[in-house]
Structure 1
Amino acid sequence: MAFSEPSELTPIGHTGGRIFTSGGRSLVLEDDEIRLVSVGVDIGSSTTHMVLSRIVLERRDNRYLVTSREVTHESDVLLTPYRTGDTAGDTLDGEALREFFDRQYAEAGVSPDEIDTGALIMTGVAVRRANSRIIADVFSQVAGRFVSVSAGDALETQLSAFGSGAASRSEANGNRTMNIDIGGGTSKIAVCGDGEVQAVTAIDVGARILAFDTEGRVTRIEEAARRLAAEAGLELVMGAAPDADGLSRLVELMADHLFAAMQSGPTPRATADLMRLDPLPAGPAPDAISFSGGVAEYVYGRDQRDHGDLGLRLATAIRERVSEWGPELQVAEQGIRATVVGASQYTVQVSGTTIFVEPASLLPLRNVPVLMPRLPLTHEELDADEITVAVKEALQTFDSLPKKQPVALCYRWEGSATFGRLDAFCRGVAAGMAEYTSNGLPLVLVGDGDVGGLVGIHVNEELGLPTSVVSIDGLTLQAFDFIDIGELLAASGAVPVVIKSLVFPATAALGREGAAV
């Protein structure tokens, strides 16, 4: 499934660094087509699961574009395991997670070493720092060569929109499609149009903010449940069965807040207090809606079992409101697995082959923030000093990042690539990034055209800077905050790039506590 390593890699036209590289035993077909094995993993407060996919990318001019995505293995859905004896139920059971993933790889007939790329999405209690360390330890052993670790409501919302098919349906139908992904702890809302995610928000409404044993006694109370119960006039006590009428009021209130969050424009104060992201911007109502996440299985009638939470009750309340609202209810391509399918199939891009990496051992690079300065690149003669000023101004937004963290400068090349224009661009960028490269960090440049190799060579040879260089191209990164750059793919000389966000919620509502990592 993954490419075998060729006997050697032959740089074409350059002896140091890597530019337009092809494998010594690769065929032309292999250079024009890349096949990747990708894994998507979702570890949430309630459930954990994974999906393996095969992705085919074909070279179109200087870019590799995804032409085929195929799910090759869907794992069981595991109730996220917590350590025995942890009365708060907050600490993940790392050994149980490791056994689960080992079993899934075995059932799929795939070794972790065969994984080329992918993403791990963590939500809820999984993002807490102690659990992040547990997960990092687990995945250092079972994830394979190149899997990114990501967390964040905005990213998860985007992935569920793609994985559910809402984005593609908006393009195929030429309409405004909303997807609501309802999980155990949160609901993620995405508005899609023209095949893209145009707006997202998230709210602390989920099936397992309150959980019960087989006798109906409360076994888990999330902070969101306490707040909603107070609003509903319901007393919640661990180990006691709640009042039935009060529980009904709680569920109806949850559905009310969810539908308030689904509306654009001003948000009621009580709903705003539950929001994890900014409300949806003003705009027309959607033409169609779909649901994904665990509760979607109830919404579409695919599951009627009681899993000891509020899922079945919440789905019933949602269906009543959907029929009264007006937009067409569409069936999502994926339900509970929407986010994990999105993670395995929609986070990866592949660079062009006109790239430069010196030394090649620099890769992989992980969790690299993307800097997007407004560079003056339209004139026939470029001004190096103006470029330096633009880069330094943009870097001011990264003041909170440690200077030991590499930064990827993303640019959109315009015009010809003459020696003079390349020289001014490279001198300006190098001077602007000197604060980072002087500390021994590599100069990481990401372009959307096909000049990555020329830029890298110019920095390395003409400027003679004593710094490592990664210069890649053929990528579009404007919608995301962080990237992972994988090792060179043997057959093509390109690199896989996982696009993600590692920003934890950071505002005043329930889910908005934390910091970037």
Structure 2
Amino acid sequence: MGEQLLSVGIDIGTSTTQLVLSRLTLENRANPFTVPRVSIAGREVLYRSAIHFTPLLSDTVIDAAGVGAIVAEEYDKSGFDRSQVDTGAVIITGETARKENAREVLSALSSFAGDFVVATAGPDLESILAARGAGVDKYSKEHHTDILHFDIGGGTSNLALYTHGELAATGCLDVGGRLIKIDRASRTVTYVSPALTRAGVDGVPAVGQTATPEGLEPVLRAMVEALEQAAGLRPGRDRLDAFLTSDTRWEPRPVPWVCFSGGVADCIYDQPEDWLAFGDIGVLLGRAIRSSPAFSEERRLRGSETIRATVVGAGSHATDLSGSTIFYREVSFPMKNLPILKLTRSEEGAGAAELARCIREKLAWYRDEGGLTQLVLALRGEPNPGYGRVQELARGIAEGLEPLRQAGFIPVVLVEADQAKVLGQAMAARMSGPLLCLDGVGVDNGDYLDIGAPVADGAVLPVVIKTLVFNKS
């Protein structure tokens, strides 16, 4: 039996906070004469916490002490001590990631485990994590098909389109189960999200008004129509545009499959009898989606996870070496916890101008309240590219990563194919300052990378790929 690790996943979302403890079995799949290649051979879920409402001190401040108390309580219930945990991930997602003290909460929770992958996931990154957690990427690849995944939480719906296993687009809509909150005893409305006013929805109830399923039907219908238009399954895009979050673009196209995760997904597949079970419109929204002809049972793919899709485990570590064709200049090692931004094949194969545009657009996935963050741009690479093509790639990548360089970060490019040195040399002629190109390592969106100091007389770089554990079996 391989080495075993205890891992934890902590997800602090717009509506809910939860924890999962798993036992990971690691296995070195390399032969005795090569660099170790450690991967997950198995994962057993040992403990799933209760689903807690995320405690807030105000609309803009997370109750850090309250979140910490939830995590501590769940550790006690699980029977495991924090000192036993080897690895894990703390993810702050959705609207919660934009709270004033999100980083403070992450720092406070890091004491609950060992070598954490710590990330604040905005709507685009959350879309990727949730889709992978539901197994959409794997299903899309294995069945050579397109799937649009909706992760519907309390405040937003995060969209991720996978085509033949590749991430094609992400988006975010102001559609969620807690946009209207209702007192269960009196059935009066206690909160209405400004997003509904911005969307111009008719029939939105006022605070203090008595709520009924019939009275809420116009709001629910508008939300479902926005989701249908996002999937290209309803003509037009008026509802879609009304509910798109700021700085979000989405070009709908008809898809053969849709998949749902998040708290509302549980209300699609396993409907509570009480429509006010959670003191909001989540149950009714789930029912409305389920009854939509566009989202018929024949088109709906049920993912391996619903409400726990974003984080169902923690980080696996695969140690590798970037090959001898690396290029680096003025780089301080080590570099840790760098999120991966991986381009699709079509984006990667574009000309310099289009490639630069795609990179600049996707940099926004990793923008937080402080601006851009350090990341790794990942490419597959092309077989035997000629001199002209290498120069074109270098020009597109250098121009695309210029905002990152200007923000004070190091352009880091990872290529699966063995061509980092020539690409790095071509990029170095086009940009000043630190630069790192490495190759021979396969990664995906949602992964994180640690890069150690050069070894073997500077010929190779040790790297650690930190992959969030989703639906490994």
Q: TM-score, normalised by structure 1?
A: 0.66
Q: Residues 57 and 198 (structure 1 numbering): CA distance in 2 closer, same or farther, change over 3 Å? A: farther
Residue type matched to 2:250 in 1?
A: P
Q: Which runs of structure 2 are paired with 1:302-321 in the superposition (5 Å)?
A: 303-305=272-274, 306-321=277-292
State the match for 1:362 in structure 2: 334
Deviations 1:201-235 (Å, cap 9, x if unpaired)? 3321111011112212222222223345x422334
Q: Which of the residues 251, 258, 270 maps onto 1:301?
A: 270
Counterpart AA for 1:209: L
Report if the CA contact (8 A) 2:182-2:190 is conserved: yes
* SS in structure 1 at match of 2:414: strand
Structure 2 distance, partners of 1:184, 1:164, is 18
Which of 390, 412, 417 is 1:408 aligned to?
412
Offset from partner CA, 1:333-361 (integer Å, 9 cap, x none): 222111222xx36x756241467999997
Shift of 1:49: 1.2
Matches within 5 A, 1:250-329: 250-263=219-232, 267-276=236-245, 277-283=248-254, 285-286=255-256, 288-301=257-270, 303-305=272-274, 306-322=277-293, 325=296, 327-329=298-300
Q: Where do 1:439-458 residues align within 5 Å? A: 444-447=436-439, 449=440
Distance 1:393 1:290, change over 3 A: closer
Alpha-carbon distance between aligned partners in 2 of 1:158 and 1:426, rounded to the nearest angstrom: 28
Alignment-mate amino acid for residue 442 of structure 2: L
Distance (Å, rounded) in 2 between the aligned partners of 1:328 and 1:290: 9
| 1:363–1:485 CA contact under 8 A, matched in 2 | yes
Are residues 376 and 175 of structure 1, via their aligned partners in 2, closer, same or farther at CA, if it must alter by over 3 Å? closer
Structure 2: give runs of 5+ residues left out of the alignment. Answer: 339-372, 454-460, 469-473
Whether 1:232 aligns to 2:230 is no
Once residues 390 and 240 of structure 2 are traced to their aligned partners in structure 1, the CA distance between those partners, rounded to angstroms, is 45
Which whole-Å CA distance do the structure 1 matches of 2:376 and 2:74 have between them? 34
1:35 and 1:433 map into 2 onto residues whose CA distance is 45
Q: Of 40, 46, 55, which residue of structure 2 is paired with 1:81? A: 55
Change (3 A) 1:426 1:309: closer
Q: Is the 8 A contact 2:290 2:296 kept in 1?
A: no
In the aligned structure 1, how far is the partner of 2:395 from the partner of 2:223?
Answer: 46
Aligned to 1:395, the other structure's residue is in SS state: helix
What whole-Å deviation, never above 9, does each CA across 1:18-76 have from its counterpart, x for those lacking one?
Answer: xxxxxxxxxxx9xxx67554433322221111223344354357755544343333222
Query: Counterparts of 2:240 and 2:294 in 1: how far apart (Å)?
Result: 22
Whether the aligned pair in 1 keeps the contact of 2:231 and 2:253 (CA below 8 Å) is no
Aligned-partner Cα distance in 2 for 1:361–1:113? 29
- Counterpart amino acid of residue 375 in structure 2: P
Do residues 350 (structure 1) and 324 (structure 2) align? no
1:435 has 2:436 as partner: no
* Cα distance, 1:121–1:58 mapped onto 2, change above 3 Å: farther
Closer, same or farther: CA 281–64 of 1 in aligned 2, 3 Å: farther
CA drift of 1:193 comes to 5.0
Q: Which residue of 2 aligns with 1:496?
A: 464
TM-score (normalised: structure 2): 0.72
User: Partners in 1 of 2:425 and 2:145 — Cα distance?
Assistant: 46
Letter in 2 for 1:352: D
Which is further off, 347-356 or 139-148?
Answer: 347-356
Residue 138 of structure 2 is matched in structure 1 by 168
Letter in 1 for 2:124: A
SS at match of 2:311: helix
Structure 1 position 120 matched with structure 2 position 123: no
CA distance in 1, matches of 2:190, 2:296: 34
Q: Which residue of 1 aligns with 2:450?
A: 485
Q: CA deviation at 1:387?
A: 7.0
The residue number in structure 1 matching 2:126 is 156
1:407-435 residue CA offsets vs partner (Å, 9 max, x unmatched): 322234447xxxxx96x677556666641
Q: Structure 2: how far apart are the matches of 1:336 and 1:35?
A: 26
Question: For residue 189 of structure 1, what is the aligned residue in structure 2?
Answer: 159
Choose 307-316 or 269-278, whichever is displaced more: 269-278
For 1:57 and 1:160, the matched residues in 2 are separated by 26
Q: CA deviation at 1:328?
A: 3.9
Q: Distance in 1 between matches of 2:323 and 2:150?
A: 39
Taking every aligned residue pair, what percent have the same amino acid on both sides?
25
SS in 2 for 1:313: helix
Q: What CA deviation, in whole Å up to 9, does each residue of 1:355-402 have, x standing for no partner?
A: 79999973535553224689899479x89xx97996565333333335
Counterpart AA for 1:398: L
Any idea what SS the aligned residue of 1:201 has?
Answer: strand
Secondary structure of residue in 2 paired with 1:340: coil
Report the secondary structure of 1:352's partner residue.
strand
Does the 8 Å CA contact 2:233/2:294 hold for their aligned counterparts?
no
Deviation digits for residues 116-163 of structure 1, max 9, x if unmatched? 343514211x12251323323323433533222131222222222222
Deviations 1:60-100, CA, capped at 9 Å, x for gaps: 577555443433332221101012xx4xx332111011111
Q: Which runs of 5+ in 1 are unaligned?
A: 1-28, 416-420, 437-442, 450-473, 501-517
Task: Provide the C-alpha distance between the structure 2 equivalents of 1:173 and 1:392, rounded to a whole number of angstroms.
Answer: 36
Task: Give the corresponding residue for 2:442.
Answer: 475
Decide whether aligned partners of structure 1 residues 57 and 152 sit closer, same or farther in structure 2, where only a CA change above 3 A counts.
farther
Query: Which residue number corresponds to residue 399 of structure 2?
Result: 396
SS at match of 1:147: strand
Per-residue deviation at 1:184? 0.8
RMSD of the alignment, in Å?
4.1
Q: Which moved more, 1:90-99 or 1:273-282?
A: 273-282
Q: Which residue of 2 aligns with 1:3?
A: none
Q: Give 1 or 2 for the bigger CA radius of gyration.
A: 1
Q: CA deviation at 1:268?
A: 1.6
SS at match of 2:291: helix
The letter of the residue matching 1:241 is: T
Does the Cα contact within 8 Å between 1:377 and 1:414 map onto a contact in 2?
A: no
SS at 2:100 equivalent: helix
* Residues 266, 134 of structure 1: alpha-carbon distance in 2 compared, 3 angstrom cutoff: farther
1:463-483: CA deviation from partner (whole Å, max 9, x where unpaired) = xxxxxxxxxxx2335x46x84
In structure 1, what is the Cα distance between the partners aligned to 2:191 and 2:86? 36
| Aligned partners of 2:259 and 2:303 also within 8 Å | yes
In the other structure, the counterpart of 1:515 is: none
Counterpart CA distance in 2 for 1:319 and 1:256 is: 13
Structure 1 range deviating more: 96-105 or 126-135? 126-135
Question: How many Å separate the matches in 1 of 2:212 and 2:171?
Answer: 32
